Structure 1
Amino acid sequence: MGSPAPKYATNEGVIDAVRAAIGGAFVDGVEAVGEVAVTVKREALVAVMTALRDKLAYQQLMEIAGVDWPENPERFEVVYCLLSVTKNHRIRVHVWTDEEKPVPSVTGIWPVAGWLEREVYDMYGVLFSGNPDLRRILTDYGFRGHPQRKDFPLTGFVELRYSEEAKRVVYEPVQLAQDFRSFDFMSPWEGAEYVLPGDEKAKLPEAKGAPTPLKADEIKKADAPKTEAKAPPPTPKVTEKKEDTGAGEPANKEAAKKSAGAKKAPPKAKTASTASKPATKKPGATPRGKK
């Protein structure tokens, strides 16, 4: 069973049909990557959109996008994406403008354009004449600038936070701490190259001087698991001899050495005075065995 949806219409002859339908408002037409894009005059946008809807059956407005080209005199490119439900075909309509020249609003043709034009105005600052409610729609109240412009600072001008002192949301100038100024542009799919403590141990050894590829046996040796060298076991203590136990040795070995030296010293020689001196008896002493 075939699909009930119509087959996708070919792009052959679409640009010629658009040129014939809109006449002098046609500026350029390009077909690329299977899509048709036509550039028209800004002042004739409403008439061009009406002709595309009624004559070429592009019934729906799917999206309005903006592009900023700061180097061009008319820096803003407004792109309208149209869909033909009956032909199952899409087309893009491009117009150019700057900060001051407004683009005619197409809210009279597609009411959904009111919200889409507000988004382009909020992000790029493009004015749309005829929009009944041209206000910001994505940014906050009191926001300054247009975020999608190429010259808009990445951090903006002001930041908002809730203040406990004021008990409300307050706006303050943007102040970035120095810690947040280092950016990492590496792709998360490739893995980060952060060097953590200890990572240098996982690198393969290299020859001195310029990095030189290792040989096969050296790589095998480097990849082999490294085992830490264990200290030799302590020598067991034995008590086979008296010297091993230390039994009988004085606690203070220095004092023992001094006393041993004193014992080995030779006795002093008697002088003549002491040798000639007669022995004296103590009074009351009697020789042993006599009464």
Structure 2
Amino acid sequence: MDEALDKLGSHVADRLGPKVLGFKVTLGELTLDTEPTHIPAVIEFLRDDEACRFGCLIDICGVDYPEREARFEIVYHLLSPWLNHRIRVRAKTDARSPVPSIVSLFPAADWFEREAYDLYGILFSGHPDLRRLLTDYGFQGHPLRKDFPLTGFVELRYDDELKRVIYEPVNLQQEYRSFDFLSPWEGMDTAIPGDEKAGEARDRSDET
């Protein structure tokens, strides 16, 4: 399998030339790197070339590396049902530089690109309707970025008196707990929460 994927990677690199920055086969998977501006040309070639025939778009997703100048990777996964091959195409970008949309090549890319925009803030030029998909209207920030706080900025709930959804600052109801990770049957200095009666029973047995 690795030999066949390596041959396929060489074929794509030879045909596309400088549009392919490199490719590698790792753990039975072929990964191809390119520049964002070349994404439509690369994807179209992979779809239409007789040696590739990647006619099924499986997924488009983002990856965040905040320590890099081009902090995002936009990753495309394609399947060739006819040749039983899969390929991963990657391109690096930042929060300001848009990646060309491939909705015209694969209509299924519509919601995948909207998801990447919503959760990472990755921009797609030429997208017919680039707006949030999973977060609420008026949501601030992009929740899958590594610098986004785990608690978020606001919380929402339905107010029964006002009969509408309201937004409030995040309020953690539970205090921070320090866990000792000891076995509940060994070494605990205090009773397990909810097991206080067991301690009282032991005390009474000791007195008798």
TM-score by length of 2: 0.84
- RMSD, aligned CA: 2.7
Q: 1:83 touches 1:91 (CA, 8 Å); kept in 2?
A: yes
Separation (CA, whole Å) in 2 of partners of 1:9 and 1:36: 11
Identical-pair percentage: 46
Change (3 A) 1:194 1:147: farther
Unaligned runs of 5+ in 1: 1-6, 200-227, 232-291
Unaligned runs of 5+ in 2: 196-204
**Cross-structure match for 2:30:** 36
Change (3 A) 1:58 1:183: farther
Q: 1:9 touches 1:88 (CA, 8 Å); kept in 2?
A: no
3-state SS of the aligned residue for 1:11? helix
Find out whether 1:24 has 2:14 as its counterpart: no
**Cross-structure match for 1:144:** 140
State the Cα deviation string for residues 257-284 of structure 1 (Å, max 9, x = none): xxxxxxxxxxxxxxxxxxxxxxxxxxxx
Say which of 85, 89, 105 aligns to 2:85.
89
Find out whether 1:50 has 2:41 as its counterpart: no
3-state SS of the aligned residue for 2:42? helix
Find out whether 1:197 has 2:188 as its counterpart: no
Shift of 1:8: 10
Separation (CA, whole Å) in 2 of partners of 1:48 and 1:136: 27
TM-score by length of 1: 0.61
Say which of 100, 103, 117 aligns to 1:104.
100
**What is the aligned residue count?**
192
Bigger RCO of structures 1 and 2 (CA < 8 A, at least 6 apart): 2
Give 1 or 2: higher strand fraction: 2
Shift of 1:108: 0.4
Change (3 A) 1:121 1:185: farther
Change (3 A) 1:166 1:119: same
Q: 2:64 touches 2:73 (CA, 8 Å); kept in 1?
A: yes
Q: Looking at CA atoms only, which structure, 1 or 2, has the larger radius of gyration?
A: 1
Separation (CA, whole Å) in 2 of partners of 1:59 and 1:67: 24
